[in-house]
């Protein structure tokens, strides 16, 4: 792909295009050549060469990719708007709207100073992708532009070099790979590597040279033996050996932490045949002639890579015990492997009927998909991280039950799969079947897996998933869904609290009245007020007073006096009568539907409440409600904060859906089998034991503390009664923290 030097003449450019496109617009190419030459005038490159040589070299690279007239002309003009007096309007007047749009896209990208601060890198990458998504030919010119700048990077001041090289390795080389342009990717990587790790590059390069010199005979031997065997079997094939690039060898050394001496497969061979059938026949010939290296066989013909790459890969131990990596493919596959998306770009001119429309390529679909992701990500740097990861990851290919192909990065889980199908599918996923069998949602998917997602409506994804998925799309969607769910929970709790506060005040609650009072509360929406109240950041009394300013007379928002005293009943006799009333007489109490309901509820630690207990809720700012049994001595700690006390009651639709922790303490007689008897009684009554701790105070007795999980108070009392009836139990009581 080396472009000619010195500066290409006008007729040379036309000849290069004519060689693959006899119907090209010569006059247009000539006009672009002269226009750009005049526009750049006496400008010079860092190398001292006339600036105009640069756009010509970029155009030359693109003629190697056999691109259409518009792309070649855009390449010749690509720096005129940014670096000379030309305007997009000039270009449009002289060259038409299509070429003007391409040059405009390239000008926009050029304005992004990629190598500046890291803080803006994500945003720039986003703009780059948006600019190229309009027309993928913009990306092709940009990549050729970068390739020529990398080829001449040694003229740039050293301080700038490494940053440009790193950006090339981080973004442009993977992008070229993603567009299927393998040769371009390799050259970009190698040029970047040369400047980022000059010592490593030189060492590997020298050894490669020596090894190549020593094994020249070997490469030709393998080539000719292979060729002969294939011909024997009636397969016409072209065999071409090549050595790998320093960067790909260095990457392998890093990844596998092996030294260059141990790295045996530095030579690769391409076997190009006529059709798919011959690919598999050639593979048979190869595997019959030499032993294959296990685990290295990959069939990208039956399952192409996401960038449309198709080929069979295998590694054999060839003559001289030298490992040789083989790629077997057809001519058409070879062209896609080399040119990638550019192999299809000429379709527009109708030059090559074999080429597919660009939009029909997987590489283009990936680009569109990535741009769609942009819309969902608020933070551009996060986006850059995700996209970078996805650029580098290998892919796994999975299928929906209907046979739709879903490509995911390696390491992806069924949750990633669900989100790749649709955000709604991900948000409602509760289980999955992989290849027809129930599998954990967090297993790692393999190539060819058929995945069926089991869904349940009204579900919220657990926030823990966020750290476990690998695709940016799933991560962003989970974060959004959990944020929304938490906010809904707090708003729901806030609504209950606010409605009850209005009831106590003898006032009517309406959203409209609250809306009118928003400025007084310095909030922007009703939901905002309710969520803030639920989170404990705003008190319900203040909300009532905001709506009814004349309500200032009310002394306390809730008729609660400070509880005091400790003991079996945490609340002092006479006070808090309200909380002691039976549930049926407190209709305004907030119903608690267990731990998985729509309120942010937790239970007090160390002997909390179970359904059936009379309960009190304590509002913890930012954490929701903690439920205490009314006897809890821990309640004394909140006696001076009446605003945090919430009137709550159990409202369990069905007992037996959820277990609740309860703690019992007992003194048992020491004799063989005591513990077995006790645990047997608990098991018989279907109580779960979470924890047992024992202290032997005397030779005769042991004190035990048992943490149980029970359905409700009735269940707990039944277990206590049964244990009390045992002769080995001398004393038993429930413990309330």
- Catalogue the active-site residues: 82-83
Residue with smaller CB distance to Mn ion, 135 or 145? 145
What is the spatial distance between Cα 632 and Cα 648, in angstroms, rounded to a whole number? 15
Alpha helices in 168-275 (DSSP H): 173-178, 182-196, 198-214, 216-232, 246-256
CB of 128 to Mn ion, least distance (A): 14
Residue with smaller CB distance to Mn ion, 64 or 145? 145
E-assigned strand segments in 621-727:
624-629, 645-646, 648-650, 660-669, 688-696, 701-710
Residues that contact Mn ion, how many (by CB under 5 A): 2
Q: Looking at 138-146, 324-332, 399-407, 518-526, which segment touches Mn ion (CB under 5 A)?
A: 138-146
Q: Which residue is nearest to Mn ion (CB)?
A: 145
CB of 153 to Mn ion, least distance (A): 13
* Site for Mn ion contains 334 (CB under 5 A): no
Contact status, residue 523 vs residue 478, Cβ threshold 8 Å: no
CB of 145 to Mn ion, least distance (A): 4
Residue with smaller CB distance to Mn ion, 192 or 316? 192
Both tokens assigned to 672: 């063989």
* Sequence-separated (6 or more) residues with CB below 8 Å from residue 440: none
Residue with smaller CB distance to Mn ion, 42 or 727? 42
Residue 295, H or E segment: none
CB of 82 to Mn ion, least distance (A): 8
Q: Looking at 141-149, 548-556, 673-681, 729-737, which segment touches Mn ion (CB under 5 A)?
A: 141-149
* Site for Mn ion contains 57 (CB under 5 A): no
Query: Nearest 5 degrees, angle CA 589-CA 595-CA 596?
Result: 110
Residue with smaller CB distance to Mn ion, 68 or 145? 145
Residue with smaller CB distance to Mn ion, 79 or 416? 79
Applying CB under 5 A, which of residues 69, 145, 190, 647 lies at the interface with Mn ion? 145
Here's the x/- map for Mn ion, 231-260, by CB under 5 A: it reads as ------------------------------
* Site for Mn ion contains 79 (CB under 5 A): yes
Both tokens assigned to 117: 């601060």
CB of 79 to Mn ion, least distance (A): 5
What is the spatial distance between Cα 722 and Cα 416, in angstroms, rounded to a whole number? 50
Q: Please give the backbone phi and psi of residue 735, each rounded to the nearest 5 degrees, phi first.
A: -105, 125
Q: Which residue has the tokens 């945490």?
A: 570
Number of residues written out for the chain: 737
CB of 338 to Mn ion, least distance (A): 23
Q: Looking at 75-83, 272-280, 340-348, 507-515, which segment touches Mn ion (CB under 5 A)?
A: 75-83
Q: Are strands 323-330 and 312-317 parallel, antiparallel or unpaired?
A: antiparallel
CB of 28 to Mn ion, least distance (A): 20
Residue with smaller CB distance to Mn ion, 64 or 79? 79
* Site for Mn ion contains 639 (CB under 5 A): no
- Cβ atoms within 10 A of the Cβ of 376, count? 13
What is the spatial distance between Cα 207 and Cα 260, in angstroms, rounded to a whole number? 8
Alpha helices in 555-596 (DSSP H): 577-580
Tell me, rounded to whole angstroms, the distance of Cα 12 from its chain centroid. 47
Residues at the site binding Mn ion, with contacts judged by CB under 5 A:
79, 145
């Amino acid at each position: 792909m080396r472009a000619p030097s010195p500066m290409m003449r006008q007729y040379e450019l036309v000849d290069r295009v004519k060689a693959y496109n006899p119907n090209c617009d010569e006059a247009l190419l000539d006009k672009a050549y002269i226009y750009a030459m005049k526009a750049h005038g006496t400008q010079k490159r860092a190398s001292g060469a006339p600036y105009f040589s640069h756009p010509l070299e970029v155009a030359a690279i693109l003629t190697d990719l056999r691109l259409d007239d518009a792309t070649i002309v855009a390449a010749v003009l690509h720096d005129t708007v940014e670096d000379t007096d030309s305007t997009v309007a000039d270009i449009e007047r002289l060259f038409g709207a299509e070429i003007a749009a391409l040059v405009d896209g390239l000008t926009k990208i050029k304005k992004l100073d990629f190598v500046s601060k890291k803080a803006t890198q994500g945003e720039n990458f986003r703009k780059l992708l948006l600019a190229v998504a309009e027309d993928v030919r913009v990306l092709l010119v940009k990549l050729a532009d970068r390739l020529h700048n990398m080829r001449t990077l040694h003229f740039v001041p050293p301080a700038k070099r490494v940053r440009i090289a790193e950006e090339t390795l981080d973004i442009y080389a993977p992008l070229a790979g993603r567009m299927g342009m393998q040769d371009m990717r390799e050259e970009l990587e190698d040029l970047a590597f040369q400047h980022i790790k000059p010592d490593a590059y030189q060492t590997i390069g020298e050894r490669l040279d020596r090894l190549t010199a020593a094994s020249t005979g070997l490469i030709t031997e393998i080539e000719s033996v292979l060729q002969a065997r294939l011909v024997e079997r009636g397969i016409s094939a072209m065999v071409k050996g090549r050595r790998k690039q320093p960067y790909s060898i260095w990457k392998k050394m890093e990844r596998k932490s092996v030294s260059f001496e141990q790295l045996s497969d530095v030579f690769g061979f391409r076997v190009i045949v006529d059709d798919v059938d011959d690919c598999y026949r050639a593979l048979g010939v190869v595997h019959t002639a030499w032993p294959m290296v296990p685990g290295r066989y990959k069939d990208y013909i039956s399952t192409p890579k996401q960038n449309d790459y198709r080929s069979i890969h295998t590694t054999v131990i060839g003559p001289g015990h030298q490992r040789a990596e083989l790629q077997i493919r057809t001519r058409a596959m070879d062209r896609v492997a080399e040119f990638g998306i550019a192999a299809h770009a000429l379709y527009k001119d109708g030059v090559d009927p074999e080429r597919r429309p660009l939009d029909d390529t997987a590489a283009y679909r990936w680009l569109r998909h990535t741009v769609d992701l942009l819309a969902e990500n608020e933070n551009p740097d996060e986006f850059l991280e995700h996209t970078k990861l996805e650029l580098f990851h290998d892919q796994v290919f999975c299928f929906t039950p209907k046979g739709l192909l879903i490509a995911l990065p390696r390491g992806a889980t069924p949750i990633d799969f669900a989100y790749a199908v649709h955000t709604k599918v991900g948000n409602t996923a509760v289980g999955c079947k992989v290849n027809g069998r129930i599998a954990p949602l967090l297993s790692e998917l393999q190539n060819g897996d058929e995945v069926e997602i089991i869904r349940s409506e009204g579900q919220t994804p657990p926030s823990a998933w966020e750290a476990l998925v690998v695709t940016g799309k799933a991560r962003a969607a989970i974060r959004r869904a959990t944020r929304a769910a938490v906010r809904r929970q707090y708003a729901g709790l806030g609504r209950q609290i606010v409605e009850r506060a209005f009831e106590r005040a003898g006032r009517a609650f309406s959203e409209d009245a609250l809306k009118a009072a928003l400025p007084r509360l310095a909030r922007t929406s009703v939901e905002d007020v309710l969520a803030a109240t639920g989170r404990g950041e705003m008190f319900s009394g203040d909300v009532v007073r905001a709506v009814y300013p004349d309500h200032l007379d009310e002394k306390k928002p809730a008729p609660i006096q400070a509880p005091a005293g400790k003991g079996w009943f945490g609340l002092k006799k006479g006070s808090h009568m309200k909380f002691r009333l039976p549930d049926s007489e407190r209709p305004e109490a907030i119903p608690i539907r267990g731990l998985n309901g729509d309120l942010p509820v937790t239970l007090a630690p160390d002997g909390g409440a179970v359904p059936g207990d009379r309960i009190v809720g304590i509002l913890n700012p930012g954490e929701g409600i903690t439920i205490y049994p009314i006897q809890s001595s821990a309640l004394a700690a909140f006696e001076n904060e009446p605003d945090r006390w919430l009137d709550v009651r159990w409202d369990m639709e069905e007992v037996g859906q959820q277990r609740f922790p309860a703690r019992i303490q007992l003194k048992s007689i020491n004799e063989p089998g005591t513990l077995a008897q006790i645990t047997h009684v608990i098991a018989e009554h279907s109580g779960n034991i979470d924890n047992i701790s024992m202290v032997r105070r005397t030779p005769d007795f042991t004190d035990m503390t048992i943490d149980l999980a029970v359905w409700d108070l009735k269940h707990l009392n039944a277990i206590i009664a049964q244990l009390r009836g045992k002769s080995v139990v001398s004393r038993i009581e429930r413990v309330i923290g």
